[in-house]
Structures are given as structure tokens and as C-alpha cells.
Structure 1
Amino acid sequence: MTASAGIGDFRPVERAREQKGWFFVDWAVSAFQTTVAGVLFAPYLIEIAKQAADDRNRIYLLGLPIDPGSLPSYVITFSTILSALTYPLIGAIADRTARKKDLMAAFAWAGALAAGLLFFMTGDNWLFGSVMFIIANLCAGCSVVVSDSILPLISTENERDRTSSIGWAYGYAGGAILLALNFLLMKFGGSIGIDTGMAVRLNLLSAAVWWAVFIIIPWRRIRNREPRDVEDVQGGLLGRSFGQLWITLKELRRYPVAMTFLIAYLFFNDGIQTVIGSAAQYGTEELGFVLDTMLLVYLLVQFVAVGGAVVFSRAAARFGAKHVILAGLGTWILVVIGAFLLPEKQLPLLLVVGVGIGLVLGGTQALARSYFSLLIPAGKEAEFFSLYHAMDRGTSWMGTLVFGLVHQFTGSFRPSILALIAFFVIGGVLLARVDTAKGIEQAGNRAPERI
């Protein structure tokens, strides 16, 4: 019996069930993105590196001197460059396999294992911690590439903004719940004999466990599908995937609107990712807050982002996703300026900036994902989303590199944060030039009711 046979069409019910399972991908991976990548890893890595630093406050890798304060930026930079080389191949493989959900879960479990090994980052072994983070970050991105490619398969064009936004809301809610538990351990762990270092390591481990356990839900609920409209390329899976990737790269010129959006996304998302990844070290190193305070602020951001994603989704239904994203980028610029002007140890003002970040964080990212899905030709979802995430995580090295270099040369994080405005301005100007209707036509898709 088919989904549409019998007394009615049950396809909407089946899509809804898969969508509810798919929401938990964001719920699961958000544990790593918030607790590890967003809050704890950078400040803790700096402290570990400081223990290994010489009298000039420098550590060395292959003979190159590194300021411990800049180390997290360089680690993220290397990780994202590696991702840029990996994601497109993963996308090509995903489009040619009928086991997308299995591939997604396998990367998630590998990343969770590497994240769990961060528990053993103690003493002065900053190199071990850096390598484990790079592996976990790479696997997280690969898992999300495959997951996002499933979005067009489980939702219609009119369902995309809502489905993507609810997924982001789930992500921020899940991240917030775990982060609340992390905060309690950081704040009150001393009363039960757990020092700060052990509390950080246990929290890193908790994120890995959370990720590994909750990815089981989408893995069980989403069904695999046969590949569709893939190119006829000879060889095994890996050989065919390289061939498919080469064909897609050559055919990108047939989708100039999608290319323009990808370039715009490269810049504005680079700014977003750098703000997210650098917020904790900016708060601790520049503004003088202790780490558990930054956990509290990040927790506020997570909860506000849940509502922000829903608000942006409703605004997109009325005004169109592109216009709402542009408004969000304008708000990001105001947030960065506010962070630059923020006085030291002024918690109320820091909370105001945190609310601003939360309002635009989930909304801009969720709508960018669903907006781009409209520009993807059928059968190339994973490949195009791999390029999308190459702009997301894979080429976000520009922002972190600028942030790290400005700090290294100035000795302050304030000019580093201010420099990120350029990414939002350039990305916004390029996005304004994207012709949505033309891009949907080039991809051969149907337009939603509001674009």
C-alpha cells in the first residue's frame, strides 16, 4: 500500500513524523556546539596552554610562537579549512547513497567520541585537546551536512521555513537545558569537592554523551530513500562520488543565483560563527567575567534564541525570508558595536547584549538554511548543502583568523570584535542582490507562497 492509497493521503502525516525526528538532530548536536565549541573549550584551552607557555607567554608548534590567547582561534581556523576540503566530498557521497540517516548518525557518534576524549585534556597537553576538538568539529559538520540535505526530502517548499526554524529552536532548547546543568556544576561543584578544572572536563564529557544518545531519535524515525536524479558516473561509491562532485562543480555556473547566495552566506555567516565561537573568551579575557558567568550569559542566549527562531519564522511567512535575514544582519551589526563598547564587569549590560544575540542568532541561521534549500536542484541536496556548510564551517576561517591576528597585534579583543562588522556589511550587500524568484526557477523548484 502506498502512502496515498486507501481512504486518504497519509504523506503529510509521514512527513510530520519524520520532521519531528529530524528536529532532534539540532537538539543533539547543539550540546557540542554550545557547551564545547561555544563556551568551555576556548577558555579552558587557553588555561591549559598558559601552563605550557614560556617566560614570554608563548607556546610553540613546529617552531612557530603562539600567544595562548590566540590559540583557540588558530585551532578553529585549521579545523574549518580542513572542513572546506572535506564537506563537498561528503555531500557527493551522501547524494549517491540510500543510507543518508546512517551516514549522518555515524559521523555524529564519531564526533561524540572525540568530544568525550576532551575529558583527558589536563595539565599542559593543549596539543591533544586541540586535535580532539578538530576531529569532533569536523565530524559535527559532516553530520549536519547530511542532516540538512534531508530537509528538502521531508518537507514541501511551503513547510521549509517552519521546519528549519523549529529545528533550530529545538537545538537552542536542547543546548540551553544541558548548559543549565553545566552552569549548576560550575557554580556549585566546589561544595561537593569538584574543582573548576574537573567541572569543565565533566561538562565537556556530558556534551559528548548528550550528542551520542539523542542522535538515536532521528536515526530511528527518518527513513532512508533511494538517490534521485544523480549523474551516471562509473566506479565504486567513492569513485562515483568524486565524479559526481566534479560534475556539480562544473555545473554551478548554471545556478548563478545560488552561487551569489553562497558567497553572501560565506561572509555574513562567517561573522556569526566568529561571534559565537569567540564570545566566551571575549567575556573572560577582555571583560573580566569568570567562566561560570559566561555560562549563565550563554544560557540566556540559548533560551532567547528559541523564541527568536520562532519569531523569525513567522516574520518570514509575512515578509519573505530574504527580507527578514537582511533585517537580522542589521541587528547583528548593532550587537557587535554594543559588545565593543561594553565596559568591563558590567553584567546588566552584558545581559542586554546577550538578549540581542539570542534574538537574531537562531532566526538568521534557520532562515538561511531553508532559503537556500529553495535554490537547490532535486537530487543534489547533499552536494549543495556541503557547499553551503563549506561556507558555514568550512570557510569560516576568515573571521577567526582576523579575530586572532588582530588580538595578536593589538593585545586586545575589542578591535578584534569590531573588525567583524565588515563581514555582516559585505554579506548583506551581496544578499540584497540575490533574485529569489530567478534562483528558484533556475533550480527547477516550485516557489512557496511568500518569497
Structure 2
Amino acid sequence: MNLNKKHIISWTLFDFANSSYSAVIAAVVFPVYYANSIVGNETGLGDLWWGRAISLSMAIVALSSPFLGGISDYGGLRKRFLFFYTALSVTAVASLSVLEKGMIVEGFALIIAANLGMEGGLVFYNSFLPRISPREYQGRVSAWGFLVGYAGSIVSLLVALPLVKAGRFEVTWLMVAVFFSLFSIPAFLFLPEDVKGDSLARAGFKGFSYTLKTLREIWSKKEPRKFLFAYLIYQDAVNTVIIFSSIFAATTLGFKPQELIALYIVVQTTALLGAFVMAKPIDLWGPKKVAIISLLMWTSVTVAAFFIQMKYQFWILASCAGLGLGTVQAATRAFYAQFIIKGREAEYFGVYSLVGKSSAIIGPLIFGLLSVNFGSQRPAILSIAIFFLTGLIILSTVKGGEPNIKKIP
């Protein structure tokens, strides 16, 4: 298989598109807006509601993604489902513009729909990777996707900055909807077309039964099982950091919205740098070694965050954290790709999504509960460090994750 530039560019551009959601809605601006302005977070209640919304949406994705992944393989509906989930997310994000103070339930429902569309679509997006890239390039193509995604985060935040400073939050959500829609178009035009398969009902039944078979198959293999268990634990920490970092900075350290955007741009820049620098090493050193290095960094960062008192300290720490963010995600995806049987990419990535999104059910709930019960977010930060360390220890025992090629020309 040769690299098709049109496939690669359109695939990475989808990361550019959906990163506007990840940055503005999931990570920086909307979490603080919802927790502090819509709910009120003086006693941690905003943390609790935000954690519930993310956990419930991730639970729905976790339960549905492996089955839908099987349907996309046997019904030939991979690109169609990607479009459906993207449209769902874009519509829900645009609808956030009608929220006002006290509309807790309405905001809760809309963010569930938006997050379901975003995260559900990633099942089908990820399943294209082995279809558009030969194995010896999968580490680099995976890293390129994250690299372009971080660029998308930076661009969307720069566009959002003047809107946020002016207090035009409703326009900010509409901007994200347009950004997400516009830059996802190349993926729908140029990624490999769906191949005609079984009817939806037949494909659904086949997808369900084959997914159960895949789950049993993976569970019977010691190394993939250990890998997924490690991934379940440390991805829980990654997701929780992404979900609550801006709320922590705003609530505990007093960051203003424009400061949060500037901080996140710095983090995305360092993450982009990390993804760029480590793209080749993922293939050359092997994804396991790169993932372990990144997890060591993350464990240290979260422990240090517990003690931080000043804004400038958080700026330094967040910049260090960014270096490991894109690296651990790209390395993990490339590591898992080595376990996949050709022709069953969507099934396997459905299970991958099931594990990843299941982790996002537990972490946000624990963070929210600890924040409410202790009246402080600092004990919740320590719980994240424990997840990182535990996942790191388990991942170090997994056999595999060797270099994809011995020598890169």
C-alpha cells in the first residue's frame, strides 16, 4: 500500500476540524462557562454537573461504539456514520448559543448530545487509519493527525479569544459549529468511499455478533488484554485532565477566560511540538517506549499540580504537560494498531473506543465527587496521579509495542 496524499490530508484535516470542539467546548471555554455561569461552582456543584454530563455521554458512546464499529465494517457505512455523528455534534454545539444562567438541565442535555456526536464519530475516524496507511507509516500518520489537530485547537482558540473577551459567548459556540463543519468537508469528499455491504438490519446483527466475538477474542489474548486494561486506567487520567483542567485553573487559581485561552494555546503549541518531535520515534523506538516516557512525565506533572499556589507555576507546569499530551495519544493508537487483524479495523477500534470512553465515565465522576465532598479540587488532582501511575505500571508489563520498522529511510 502506498500513501495517498489526498487521503492523508483529508484525514488529518478532520482532526483539525474536531479540535475546535475539543479546545473551545470540551476543554477551555465552555466547561468554565457552564460550571461557573450556568450552574454556579462555589461549592463544587458545577464540577459535579459537568462530570455527570461527560460521564453519561461517554457511557452512551462506550456502549454503542463497538457495535456501530461492526456495522460500519459489514454494512459499508463507515463514512455515513462519521457524517451522522459529526452533524449531531455540530447541531448541538450551535444550540448552546440559546443557554442562559440557570438552564442547568438544558445545558446538560446539549453537552451530552454534542459530546456523543464528537466522541462517537471518532470510532469511525480512527478506523480509517489502517485503511489509508501501511503499517510502517501508521505511527507517523497517527502523530500527523494529532499534530494537525493541535494546530486546529490553536487556530480556533485565537478566533475565539476576541469573542470571549467581549463576552460574546453565544457567538463563540456558533463559531465552533462553523469551524467544525467547514474543515470536516474534505474527509467526507476524499476519504475512501463506503463499500456496499449488507442491509442495515443484517449488518447490525452481524456487527453485534462479531463484536461479541472480538471482545472474547481480545480477552483471550493476554497481551492485548493487559494493554487495554492499562489504557483504561491511564486514559481515565488523560480524559479527566482535559475535562477539568480549565475549571481547576479558573476556580482554584483564579484564571480569567482570556487567560485560559492564552494558557491553552501555549499548551497546544508544546503538544504540537511534542507530537512533531516524537512522530518518527514512535516507529523507530516503538510506541511502547514512547508511551511509557510520556506517562512518567504526566505522573510527575499531576503530583506537582497538587502543590501549586500561583498562576505562573501553573503556566510552567501546563507547558510541560503539553509535551506529553499528543505523544501519549499517538503512541497509544499506534501501539493498539499492532494488535489489529486486517479487515476488522472498525471492530477493533470499536473495542478501543469502548475502553477509552469507559475510562471517561469513572474519572470525571470521581473528580466531581471529591471536589464536592472536600470543598477543594486539590484532592481530586491526586486521584488523577494515581491513575497515571497505575496505568504506567501495567503498560510496562505488556509484550509488544516494538518498532514498526528497524530503519526509517
Q: Work out whether 1:449 is the aligned partner of 2:409.
A: no
Q: 1:224 aligns with which of 177, 193, 198?
A: 193
Determine if contact 2:295/2:388 at 8 Å carries over to the other structure. yes
Question: Distance between the aligned counterparts of 1:250 and 1:450, measured in 2?
Answer: 35
TM-score (norm 2): 0.94
Aligned length: 408
User: What is the CA deviation profile of residues 39-84 of structure 1, one whole-angstrom value per residue up to 9, with x for unaligned ones?
Assistant: 1222111234446x9xxx78xxxxxxx8234211121122212221
Q: Which runs of 5+ in 1 are unaligned?
A: 1-10, 59-65, 190-195, 441-445
Q: 2:130 aligns with which of 140, 147, 152?
A: 152
Secondary structure of residue in 1 paired with 2:398: coil
Q: 1:266 aligns with which of 219, 228, 232?
A: 232
2:258 corresponds to: 292
Determine if contact 1:321/1:367 at 8 Å carries over to the other structure. yes
User: What is the CA deviation profile of residues 179-211 of structure 1, one whole-angstrom value per residue up to 9, with x for unaligned ones?
Assistant: 011122223x2xxxxxx2xx2222122112111
The residue type paired with residue 30 of structure 1 is S
Question: Distance between the aligned counterparts of 1:151 and 1:45, measured in 2?
Answer: 34
Question: Distance between the aligned counterparts of 2:196 and 2:337, measured in 1?
Answer: 17
Compute the displacement of 1:235 (Å).
5.7
Q: 1:45 aligns with which of 27, 34, 46?
A: 34
Q: Work out whether 1:323 is the aligned partner of 2:289.
A: yes
Q: Work out whether 1:212 is the aligned partner of 2:181.
A: yes
The residue type paired with residue 361 of structure 1 is L
Compute the displacement of 1:102 (Å).
2.5
- 1:22-421 correspondence to structure 2 within 5 Å: 22-50=11-39, 67-187=45-165, 189=166, 196=167, 199-224=168-193, 226=195, 236-344=202-310, 346=311, 348-421=312-385
Compute the displacement of 1:22 (Å).
0.6
- Computed over aligned residues only, the root mean square deviation of the Cα atoms, in angstroms, reads 2.4
Determine if contact 2:283/2:405 at 8 Å carries over to the other structure. no
TM-score (norm 1): 0.85
**Further displaced range: 246-255 or 90-99:** 246-255
**Further displaced range: 76-85 or 403-412:** 76-85
Compute the displacement of 1:28 (Å).
1.0
The residue type paired with residue 291 of structure 1 is P
Question: Distance between the aligned counterparts of 2:199 and 2:227, measured in 1?
Answer: 28
Q: Work out whether 1:21 is the aligned partner of 2:13.
A: no
Q: 2:2 aligns with which of 12, 17, 20?
A: 12
Question: Distance between the aligned counterparts of 2:152 and 2:200, measured in 1?
Answer: 43
**Higher RCO, Cα 8 Å, sep 6+:** 2
Q: Which runs of 5+ in 2 are unaligned?
A: none
| Counterparts in 2 of 1:84 and 1:291: CA distance versus 1, 3 Å | same
Determine if contact 2:79/2:194 at 8 Å carries over to the other structure. no
Question: Distance between the aligned counterparts of 1:225 and 1:256, measured in 2?
Answer: 33
| Counterparts in 2 of 1:418 and 1:234: CA distance versus 1, 3 Å | closer
Compute the displacement of 1:99 (Å).
3.5
Higher radius of gyration, 1 or 2:
1
Secondary structure of residue in 1 paired with 2:128: helix
